Homo-oligomer: A and B are copies of this chain.
Amino acid sequence: MRIGALEAGGTKMVVAIGNGQGEILERLSIPTKTPETTMPELVDYFKSRQIDALGIGCFGPLDLNRESSTYGYITSTPKLPWRNFNIVGTFRDMLKVPVGFDTDVNASAIGEATWGITKDVNNSIYITIGTGVGVGVIIDGKPLHGMLHPEAGHILLARHPKDTFKGCCPYHDNCMEGLAAGPAIEARYGKKAYELTDNEEVWELEGFYIAQALVNYILTLSPQRIVLGGGVMHQEQLMPIIHREVLRMLNGYINTEELRAMEDYIVFPKLNDNQGIMGCIKLAIDEINNTIRRGKRRIDLNE
């Protein structure tokens, strides 16, 4: 079983070949240019590896509705050459294999839920805080889509009373991403996050916003565990601030075993930045099973 995996990002495409156990046999990355330039490179790569299926975790927004005539398209992205591009259909036509598809952050959530830190729970969320904020949601073991897919990096938050920064989301004055993603930190202080490591005030404010978003996710989605990844979370001093602030803001309103064991509730990822590509492998395996659902056999993860 040779599985192709593609983490499609706005600046780079990470491709990999894996097996049914989620092991990565090889990987490389190429820059993201236009579909005309980049797609043939990707197709050639996967063709030469003779893959049995492909899984894609993609920057969005995406059409994930299988009933829709534009299922498998990247839709209203600001990356103009990719707007309304049929990425699933193109790969399916060129490679003639099943193609699984979800958002990049849902792929990370699936990776951790299949082989990582959330594999023992059915309901979890994976949040990446980097140049943007993405939230992947797993409910009853499956990624949440609904009308579209969660875009919970843009939930509206109350400002910290001392924060005069105007936010840097072009759509919203006071959303999570605009107040707390990497570019917000840089714009607020005129330095990159890694240059501010020793500035406690920076991380107290950042922890305030992250915790406020998590409180809202906890009260809305009731996850059994929350994973925090992405470049901003490389500032590991944030984690104890987040733990403290989440409990302070919830203020005892809900009280569960999980919240009492806060260090095991809000956690770092376990898969060393492979959660996304491993999630893509799982998406490919699920798609094979979808394709042959009425057929003979299911794919054994140990094959």
Instruction: Give chain A's interface residues, CB within 8 Å of chain B.
Output: 61, 76, 123, 135, 137, 139-140, 142, 144-152, 154-159, 171-172, 174, 212, 215-224, 249-256, 258
Q: Dominant SS at the A interface?
A: loop
Contacts of A145 in B (CB 8 A): 123, 222
In Å, the complex CA distance between A129 and B135 comes to: 27
**Known contacts A123-B147, A147-B123; is-contact A251 B220 (Cβ 8 Å):** no
Question: Distance (Å) between the CB of A97 and the closest chain B CB?
Answer: 27
Q: Are A152 and B219 in contact (CB under 8 A)?
A: yes
The residue that A144 contacts in the complex, of B172, B215, B222, with Cβ under 8 A, is: B222
Q: Are B223 and A147 in contact (CB under 8 A)?
A: yes
Q: Are B152 and A220 in contact (CB under 8 A)?
A: yes
When all copies of this chain in the complex are counted, the total is 2
In Å, the complex CA distance between A132 and B218 comes to: 19
Contacts of A146 in B (CB 8 A): 123, 139, 221-224
Q: Are B255 and A144 in contact (CB under 8 A)?
A: no
Q: Are B148 and A222 in contact (CB under 8 A)?
A: yes
Contacts of A221 in B (CB 8 A): 144, 146, 150, 220-221
In Å, the complex CA distance between A253 and B252 comes to: 34
Question: Distance (Å) between the CB of A229 and the closest chain B CB?
Answer: 18
**Nearest opposing residue in chain B for A151, CB measure:** B219
Contacts of A254 in B (CB 8 A): 61, 148, 151
Q: Are B253 and A171 in contact (CB under 8 A)?
A: yes
The residue that A217 contacts in the complex, of B212, B220, B223, B250, with Cβ under 8 A, is: B220
Question: Distance (Å) between the CB of A164 and the closest chain B CB?
Answer: 14
Contacts of A220 in B (CB 8 A): 135, 137, 150, 152, 155, 216-217, 220-221
Q: Are A151 and B256 in contact (CB under 8 A)?
A: no
In Å, the complex CA distance between A139 and B123 comes to: 12
Q: Are B154 and A253 in contact (CB under 8 A)?
A: yes
Q: Are A147 and B215 in contact (CB under 8 A)?
A: no
In Å, the complex CA distance between A154 and B250 comes to: 9
Contacts of A154 in B (CB 8 A): 219, 253
Q: Pick from A123, A149, A154, A220 the residue with the most CB of B within 10 Å.
A: A220
In Å, the complex CA distance between A156 and B258 comes to: 21
Contacts of A158 in B (CB 8 A): 156-159, 174
Q: Pick from A140, A148, A250 the residue with the most CB of B within 10 Å.
A: A148
In Å, the complex CA distance between A12 and B216 comes to: 30
In Å, the complex CA distance between A172 and B156 comes to: 17
Q: Are B215 and A156 in contact (CB under 8 A)?
A: yes
